């Protein structure tokens, strides 16, 4: 899947920086409904019975077989989750769709195909299609009769998507747009039937079109890639392709709204897939560590292996908390608007743009960390194709590149927060200082004030050019990501504790270790910003806050990680 780009629209976002939440405000995976779990189970069984035993056919590029799998997935309703009921869909929540995505992530290649189809291949029509377009295409996308794809990237324009060169010229009879140009890296490119293609009308009006393959789209050969060997990625050639004027998607000149908005929810849903991949890698590593013996004992007994298992697990715990929180918030916002009111729906999604980018970066980097450490646990066998560590390592790499590179997403976080800064107002911390996690809540409050202070300092120092201070802004984004992670982890921990769950102490260890390390990271990042400001002849107002964050007492992370690792080893997998 996709995609890059610098974004241009003005939206709100990042409210978590100025408000405090109670655990009741935060959705966690522990609260998935019976119905959501059943869909998940259906998807998991489908993957176990139909996809995983046949993955070799995907790696051999048997795209006819992938189409068959997509049809079978459709028969189980897995392609219609987010399509409105009026067009043959189920109109389910983002949480439901993301939970299904989590099950499908056990095969990253197939997840690429089905994810591209159901998200970026279908949602542009769901959110931007007119009645006729929805009636024509959505039932066929829901049934798997048509496979969808999304064609934005070009050889010369990736992150800078609006610089696309593909042109659309109205035919003399006014009935068609003739599309000319080339697209790059299109997931499902080898066999999709319906492409959302972005092209410029009259050389300047960036516009989305629904283009059927049969209109004349030609695919290049499958790219030879580092990973996702079983997913089709090709260039597309558009050589005077006549697209009926009825197939303009949305408004001429407003293709950027289609391009950018589709990404936001995609980024969070990708988050559940990333964490699912990370959990699987951790589970495989745990099993291996318990079986493999060196120096007369299982390697799982060594401190350095325990440290890895614990760190992998606690990052999964926090990442999970973040993505389900964002999905829950998005669903609540969507529930509050009429699903038929497209602008209202988009506005509801847009307001979480910062959270979407935060999740994309955190979960893709968690996945990268976990697959790397999992491979290390396997030692030399980790490097072998005979063991289940090297493929996930290769497959994971793309998640930091597509759906907006992590550089672009870090810039989205900081620049949007800069824009919203004036409107923000600080709130008092939620905790009264007496609870078991009060030290972490105090850190959270100081870190929020620190992030706001750094943004204000950057705005004061650089004015309109603050957005160009990328290295400085990336430090702030990293602090913001840690803030969202700590807050989400705390809420999930409190909920688990309130249920009296056996794992409550493990959850508390996980969030405390995470917060301990995050305090050091945040203080380090803030110092770099303060020094850069000093270098530019500006003072930072944040010295006290940096000291407060740096002074977070933290916990004995060595002992806490040992306890977390013991829980992982006892369970034989990620225990949450
Ligand atoms: C397997 C795969 C599947 C894909 N699927 C699709 C698909 O289905 N549809 C589709 O349209 N696209 C798809 N893509 C394309 C993908 O979205 C792009 O590769 C991605 O957006 C990056 O664009 P680029 O490759 O042109 O890199 P570039 O934009 O050239 O970036 C190169 C480097 O420069 C950095 N950079 C660029 N601009 C900035 C900036 N302003 N500030 C700081 N750093 C910057 C980037 O972060 C990156 O590190 C896919 C790609 C792959 C590999």
* pLDDT above 50 for 224: yes
Residue ranges with strand state E in 130-275: 148-151, 167-170, 176-187, 194-201, 205-212, 218-219, 233-244, 248-249
Q: How far is the CA of 158 from the centre of ligand 1 (A)?
A: 5
What pLDDT, on the 0 to 100 scale, is given for residue 557?
98
Of the pLDDT bands very low, low, confident and very high (cuts 50, 70, 90), residue 10 is very low
Of the pLDDT bands very low, low, confident and very high (cuts 50, 70, 90), residue 361 is very high
Of the pLDDT bands very low, low, confident and very high (cuts 50, 70, 90), residue 8 is very low
| Cα 31 to Cα 489: distance, rounded to the nearest angstrom | 15
What pLDDT, on the 0 to 100 scale, is given for residue 266?
83
- Quick one: DSSP state of residue 226? S
Predicted confidence (pLDDT) per residue in 383-423, tens digit = 999 999 999 999 999 999 999 999 999 999 999 999 887 65
**Contact, 397 vs 229, CB < 8 A?**
no
Ligand 1 pocket: which of 183, 262, 401, 415 to mutate (most atoms within 8 A of CB): 401
Strand partners, 312: none
CATH topology of domain 258-571: Butyryl-CoA Dehydrogenase, subunit A; domain 3 (1.20.140)
**Does ligand 1 lie within 6 Å of residue 234's CB atom?**
no
Predicted confidence (pLDDT) per residue in 470-490, tens digit = 999 999 999 999 999 999 999
**Contact, 554 vs 522, CB < 8 A?**
no
Residue ranges per structural domain of the chain: 15-143, 148-253, 258-571
Task: Using DSSP bridges, classify how beta strands 194-201 and 218-219 pair: parallel, antiparallel or unpaired.
Answer: unpaired
**Does ligand 1 lie within 6 Å of residue 407's CB atom?**
yes
Atom nearest to 116 CA in ligand 1: 8
What residues act catalytically? 403
**Contact, 144 vs 71, CB < 8 A?**
yes
Burial class of residue 397 in the structure, from the number of CB atoms within 10 Å of its CB (0-12 exposed, 13-18 middle, 19+ buried):
middle
Atom nearest to 228 CA in ligand 1: 1
**Does ligand 1 lie within 6 Å of residue 371's CB atom?**
no
Ligand 1 pocket: which of 188, 402, 474 to mutate (most atoms within 8 A of CB): 402
What pLDDT, on the 0 to 100 scale, is given for residue 422?
61
Q: How far is the CA of 3 from the centre of ligand 1 (A)?
A: 6
Closest CA to 289 of 269, 275, 307, 271: 307
The rounded mean pLDDT for the chain is 94
337's tokens: 């608007």
What pLDDT, on the 0 to 100 scale, is given for residue 342?
80
* pLDDT above 90 for 424: no
| Cα 404 to Cα 360: distance, rounded to the nearest angstrom | 9
Closest protein CA for atom 30 of ligand 1: 158
Q: How far is the CA of 412 from the centre of ligand 1 (A)?
A: 15
Q: How far is the CA of 354 from the centre of ligand 1 (A)?
A: 19
Place of tokens 């019976």: 34
pLDDT above 70 as % of the chain: 96
CATH topology of domain 148-253: Butyryl-CoA Dehydrogenase, subunit A; domain 2 (2.40.110)
Please state which architecture CATH assigns to domain 15-143.
Orthogonal Bundle (1.10)
**Does ligand 1 lie within 6 Å of residue 163's CB atom?**
no
Closest protein CA for atom 26 of ligand 1: 158
**Contact, 479 vs 415, CB < 8 A?**
no
What pLDDT, on the 0 to 100 scale, is given for residue 5?
44
Number of C-beta neighbours around residue 43 at 10 A: 25
Is 258-571 the same fold as 148-253?
Answer: no
472's tokens: 């400085």
122: helix, strand or coil:
coil
Q: Please report, for residues 33, 278, 400, 478, the alpha-carbon distance to residue 395 in angstroms, rounded to integers and kept in the order given.
A: 31, 11, 11, 24
| Cα 325 to Cα 303: distance, rounded to the nearest angstrom | 33
* pLDDT above 90 for 13: no
Task: Using DSSP bridges, classify how beta strands 194-201 and 176-187 pair: parallel, antiparallel or unpaired.
Answer: unpaired
Distance separating the N- and C-terminal Cα atoms of the chain: 28
DSSP string, 420-459: HGGG------S--S-STTHHHHHHHHHHHHHHHHHHHHHH
């Amino acid at each position: 899947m996709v995609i890059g780009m610098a974004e241009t629209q003005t939206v709100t976002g990042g409210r978590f920086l100025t408000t405090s939440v109670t655990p009741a405000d935060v959705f966690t995976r522990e609260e998935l409904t019976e119905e959501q779990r059943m869909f998940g189970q259906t998807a998991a069984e489908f993957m176990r019975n139909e996809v995983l035993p046949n993955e070799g056919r995907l790696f051999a590029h048997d795209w006819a077989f992938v189409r068959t799998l997509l049809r079978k997935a459709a028969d189980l309703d897995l392609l219609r989750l987010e399509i409105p009921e009026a067009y043959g869909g189920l109109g389910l929540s983002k949480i439901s769709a993301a939970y299904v995505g989590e099950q499908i992530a056990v095969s990253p290649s197939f997840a690429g195909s089905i994810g591209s189809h159901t998200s970026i291949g279908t949602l542009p029509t769901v959110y931007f299609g007119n009645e006729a377009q929805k009636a024509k295409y959505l039932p066929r996308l829901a049934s798997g009769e048509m496979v969808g794809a999304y064609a934005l990237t070009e050889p010369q324009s990736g992150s800078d998507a609006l610089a696309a060169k593909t042109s659309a010229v109205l035919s003399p009879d006014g009935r068609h747009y003739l599309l000319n140009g080339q697209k790059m890296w299109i997931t499902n490119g080898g066999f999709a039937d319906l492409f959302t293609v972005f092209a410029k009308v009259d050389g300047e009006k960036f516009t989305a079109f629904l283009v059927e393959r049969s209109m004349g789209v030609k695919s290049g050969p499958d790219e030879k890639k580092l990973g996702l060997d079983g997913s089709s990625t090709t260039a597309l050639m558009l050589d005077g392709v006549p697209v009926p004027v009825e197939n303009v998607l949305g408004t001429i000149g407003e293709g950027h709204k289609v391009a950018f908005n589709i990404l936001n929810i995609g980024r969070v849903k990708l988050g559940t897939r990333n964490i699912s991949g990370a959990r699987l890698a951790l589970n495989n590593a745990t099993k291996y560590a318990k079986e493999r013996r060196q120096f007369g004992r299982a390697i799982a007994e060594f401190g350095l292996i325990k440290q890895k298992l614990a760190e992998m697990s606690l990052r999964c715990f926090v990442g999970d908390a973040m993505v389900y929180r964002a999905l829950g918030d998005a669903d609540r916002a969507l529930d509050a608007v009429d699903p038929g009111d497209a602008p209202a729906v988009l506005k509801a999604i847009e307001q979480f743009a910062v959270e979407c980018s935060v999740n994309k970066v955190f979960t893709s980097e968690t996945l990268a960390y976990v697959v790397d450490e999992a491979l290390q646990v396997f030692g030399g066998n980790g490097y072998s194709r005979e063991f289940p560590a090297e493929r996930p390592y290769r497959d994971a790499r793309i998640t930091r590149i597509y759906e907006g590179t992590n550089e672009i997403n870090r810039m989205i976080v900081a620049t949007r927060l800069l824009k919203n800064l004036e409107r923000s107002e600080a709130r008092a911390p939620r905790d009264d200082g007496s609870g078991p996690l009060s030290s972490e809540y105090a850190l959270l409050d100081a870190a929020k004030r620190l992030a706001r202070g750094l943004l204000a300092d950057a705005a004061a120092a650089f004015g309109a050019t603050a957005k160009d201070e990328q290295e400085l802004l990336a430090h702030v984004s990293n602090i913001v990501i840690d803030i969202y992670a700590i807050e989400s982890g705390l809420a999930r921990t409190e909920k688990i504790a309130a249920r009296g769950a056996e794992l409550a102490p493990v959850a508390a260890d996980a969030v405390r270790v995470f917060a301990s390390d995050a305090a050091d990271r945040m203080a380090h990042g803030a110092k770099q910003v303060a020094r850069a400001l000093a270098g530019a002849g500006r003072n930072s107002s944040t010295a006290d806050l940096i000291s407060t964050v740096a002074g977070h007492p933290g916990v004995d992370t060595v002992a806490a990680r040992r306890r977390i690792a013991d829980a992982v080893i006892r369970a034989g997998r990620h225990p949450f």
